């Protein structure tokens, strides 16, 4: 079954959707959309370094994404506006990564595949990495679910409950770095933030509890992956962007349906 490239691609897309769904909910609740985008952009520098050092692209992208996320967390509130800091670091890392790639002699690299994904070229090893990373992210989120929710709602309440919001932020940061690393092969660096944000934003109007929102977001992400791949196959369009397009269409349709339900039309 795994010998079929479409089967491997579908499993990869669903795996990324399951990893991104619960994390994307926290990104939406904490208004960290730009944070996720900045972390994803930094992964290009990690890819360049991993190719230069001949190590795993997954490991290089995850380490640099994690360093970027930790740097932003550490520098925030030290005289820099968070959006300015994210803009400077994100675009600087992306630019340095693209320049570093141009210096790699003797290394053939498909830059478009890393920017927009190459899900149709997913191998069995890639599947193991994607699903292993997804399981780790879901495990981390489930382990700290209550603490993460409390810290997201109110930091003072978290401190009063004996929790450390900075530790919960670190767990989210690590989860984000892992998700970025496993999603590069599927949707690419430039579209990772979309898979984090759009399914979670689409699920927000349908869910009555945080747990329901995470579950609905996972379903929307999985549907987007499957339908996007089928659309790419039928219409001969890029697979990664097609997946994001389906997610955007679902977001628009669900919001329109919610608006009509509220207005009684």
CATH of the domain at 147: 1.10.3470.10
Largest CA distance in the chain: 63
pLDDT attached to residue 115: 82
Q: How would you class 180 by CB atoms within 10 Å of its CB: exposed for 0-12, middle for 13-18, buried for 19 or more? A: buried
pLDDT tens string 128-162: 999 999 999 999 999 999 999 999 888 888 888 88
Number of domains the chain contains: 1
User: 202 in a domain, yes or no?
Assistant: no
Give phi and psi for 81, each to the nearest 5: -70, 140
User: 204 in a domain, yes or no?
Assistant: no
Cα distance from N-terminal residue to C-terminal residue, the chain: 47
The C-alpha atoms of residue 21 and residue 64 are separated, in whole angstroms, by: 22
Does the structure show a pLDDT above 80 at 216?
yes
pLDDT tens string 31-55: 877 777 788 888 888 888 888 888 8
User: 107 in a domain, yes or no?
Assistant: yes
Instruction: Please give the average per-residue pLDDT across 172-187, as a whole number.
Output: 87
Instruction: Please give the average per-residue pLDDT across 64-84, as a whole number.
Output: 74
User: 69 in a domain, yes or no?
Assistant: yes
Domain with 155, as residue range(s), is 5-190
Residue 260 CB contacts under 8 Å (≥ 6 apart), including other chains: none
Please check whether residue 16 is in contact with residue 225, taking contact to mean a CB–CB distance below 8 angstroms: yes
Please check whether residue 187 is in contact with residue 16, taking contact to mean a CB–CB distance below 8 angstroms: yes
Query: pTM (2 decimals)?
Result: 0.89
One DSSP character per residue, 57-72 reads HHHHHHHHHHHHHHHH
């Amino acid at each position: 079954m795994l010998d079929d490239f479409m089967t491997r691609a579908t499993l990869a897309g669903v795996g990324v959707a399951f990893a991104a769904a619960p994390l994307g909910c926290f990104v939406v609740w904490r208004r960290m959309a730009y944070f996720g985008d900045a972390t994803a952009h930094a992964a290009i520098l990690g890819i360049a370094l991993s190719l230069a050092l001949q190590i795993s692209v997954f490991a290089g992208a995850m380490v640099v994404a994690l360093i970027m996320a930790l740097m932003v967390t550490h520098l925030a509130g030290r005289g820099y506006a968070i959006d300015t800091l994210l803009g400077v670091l994100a675009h600087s890392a992306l630019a340095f990564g693209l320049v570093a790639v141009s210096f790699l002699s003797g290394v053939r690299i498909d830059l478009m595949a890393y920017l927009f994904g190459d899900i149709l070229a997913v191998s069995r090893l890639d599947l193991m990495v994607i699903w292993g990373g997804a399981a780790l992210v879901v495990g981390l989120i489930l382990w700290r679910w209550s603490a993460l929710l409390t810290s997201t709602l109110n930091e003072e309440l978290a401190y009063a409950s004996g929790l450390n919001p900075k530790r919960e932020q670190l767990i989210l940061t690590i989860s984000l770095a892992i998700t970025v690393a496993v999603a590069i092969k599927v949707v690419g660096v430039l579209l990772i933030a979309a898979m984090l944000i759009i399914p979670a934003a689409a699920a927000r109007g349908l869910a009555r509890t945080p747990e329901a929102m995470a579950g609905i977001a996972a379903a929307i992400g999985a549907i987007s992956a499957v339908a996007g791949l089928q659309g790419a196959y039928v219409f001969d369009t890029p697979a990664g962007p097609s997946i994001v397009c389906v997610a955007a269409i679902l977001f628009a349709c669900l919001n329109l349906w919610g608006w009509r339900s509220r207005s009684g039309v």
